[in-house]
Amino acid sequence: MSVEAIMTLPSTPLDSTGETGSQDMIAVAKRQRIQDFFFHRITQSFSLLVLIALTGIIASLFINAWPALHKFGLHFLWYVEWDIVNEEFGAAIAIVGTLASAGIAMLIAVPLAFGIAVFLTETCPVWLRRPLGTSIELLAAVPSIIYGMFGLFVFAPLFADYLQVPLQKVLGGMPLVGFLFGGATNGMGILAAGIVLAFMVLPFIAAVMRDVFEVTPPILRESAYGLGCTTWEVVRKVVLPYTQKGVIGGIMLGLGRALGETMAVTFVIGNANRMPTSLFSPGTSIASTLANEFGEADEFHIAALFALAFVLFLITFVVLAMAKILVMRADKAKGA
């Protein structure tokens, strides 16, 4: 190419490419800022929606329960009378039944769930791990009414013949503890409701514990085994401290379901509005009282039922707050 031809070529500034690239980067940055802004606002609205829904639930419960709360005040919490005809209502019987059945369920379910989770994550053969894990997840998906029907038609007769009668014969006459095993041996009562609840919450707690145990880094386990630790020492000193929050969360999930369970408890607790005097005595819970009486309640009776629901909400809130405090104290102890 001649010199004249070269001179006639259009000239391009040396920094045009740089300016074009910087403008593209500025445009991309602006678009990303806009996307981040909308993403932040959308996710924030989702979070606020949960708070709004929770506030609405609390407000609706309190407003509908106000006539009963205004009449009885704090006395409603420990008043044992539940007289629909004379409109005298107290939550003590339902609170005792709820806490007793849920407490029995957790005493049974938590150790069993812990053992299942440890077996599945530490000692279970590989070929058996998946079928057992799937079975636990399927049990967690079974509707509560199925557990209630199982408790009424299958568990209650077996419980009466093979557990209640022998326990009453052996322990019923003993001092100090004999009163716990008195009453009719018909398969119903607080203990039966607690055992059926244990059947229900066991898969939830076991599944959560298994999942959190599996997230423990393998290098921690291998290091502990390399130092000569036994399986129990690895679980107690490595796995549990690392997964403490998840374990407590799984237990609280099971406890929350036990406190609010309706149909399974309604089938087997006996539904008697009187204070239970033994483990075999029939009783009632807050959820079962709501299920049994809401359809035929008049105006003030409905207010008393809403007051019971509000008390159940407060119980759940206190339990979750105690769990949160427990986790915070554990974290402070680790930091110390």
Q: Which pLDDT belongs to residue 2?
A: 47
Residue 77 pLDDT greater than 50, yes or no? yes
Arithmetic mean of pLDDT, 177-195: 89
| Residue 253's pLDDT band (cuts 50, 70, 90) | confident
Q: In degrees rounded to 5, what are phi and psi of residue 183?
A: 100, 180
Q: Which pLDDT belongs to residue 154?
A: 93
Residues in the chain: 336
325-336 residue pLDDT tens? 877 877 776 655
For the domain made up of 91-335, the CATH class stated in words is mainly alpha
Q: Which pLDDT belongs to residue 156?
A: 93
Q: E strands along 69-119, which residues?
A: 82-83, 88-89
| Residue 6's pLDDT band (cuts 50, 70, 90) | very low
| Residue 3's pLDDT band (cuts 50, 70, 90) | very low
Arithmetic mean of pLDDT, 224-233: 88
Q: Which pLDDT belongs to residue 260?
A: 86
Residue 292 near residue 280, CB atoms below 8 Å? no
Q: Which pLDDT belongs to residue 304?
A: 93
Q: What percentage of the chain has pLDDT greater than the value 90?
A: 40
CA dihedral of residues 87, 93, 97, 98 (deg, nearest 10): 60
Query: Across all residues in the chain, what is the average pLDDT?
Result: 87
291-321 residue pLDDT tens? 898 888 888 999 999 999 999 999 998 888 8
| Residue 18's pLDDT band (cuts 50, 70, 90) | low
Q: List the structure tokens of 336.
A: 């110390």
230 CB-near residues (< 8 Å, 6+ apart): none
Element counts in the chain: helices (H) and strands (E): 16, 2
Q: Which pLDDT belongs to residue 171?
A: 86
Residue 17 pLDDT greater than 60, yes or no? no
Arithmetic mean of pLDDT, 47-61: 92
272-282 residue pLDDT tens? 888 888 899 99
Q: Which pLDDT belongs to residue 4?
A: 47
80-89 residue pLDDT tens? 888 888 888 9
Look at the block and give the residue holding tokens 């880094």. 217
CA dihedral of residues 23, 29, 35, 39 (deg, nearest 10): 180
Q: What is the 3-state secondary structure (H, E, C) of the chain?
A: CCHHHHHCCCCCCCCHHHHHHHHHHHHHHHHHHHHHHHHHHHHHHHHHHHHHHHHHHHHHHHHHHHHHHHHHCCHHHHCCCEECCCCEECCHHHHHHHHHHHHHHHHHHHHHHHHHHHHHHHHCCHHHHHHHHHHHHHHHCCCHHHHHHHHHHHHHHHHHHHHHHHHHHHHCCCCCCHHHHCCCCCCCCHHHHHHHHHHHHHHHHHHHHHHHHHCCCHHHHHHHHHCCCCHHHHHHHHHHHHCHHHHHHHHHHHHHHHHHCCHHHHHHCECCCCCCCCCCCCECCHHHHHHHHHHHCCHHHHHHHHHHHHHHHHHHHHHHHHHHHHHHHHHHHHHC
> Largest Cα–Cα distance of the chain, in whole Å?
122
User: Within 10 A of 103 (CB to CB), how many other CB atoms are there?
Assistant: 16
Q: What percentage of the chain has pLDDT greater than the value 70?
A: 92
What is the rounded distance in angstroms from the CA atom of residue 138 to the CA atom of residue 86?
46
The three-class DSSP label of residue 83 is: strand
| Residue 147's pLDDT band (cuts 50, 70, 90) | very high
pTM: 0.84
| Residue 1's pLDDT band (cuts 50, 70, 90) | very low
Q: Which pLDDT belongs to residue 335?
A: 58
Q: Which pLDDT belongs to residue 265?
A: 92
Most confident of 101-105, 163-167, 227-231: 101-105
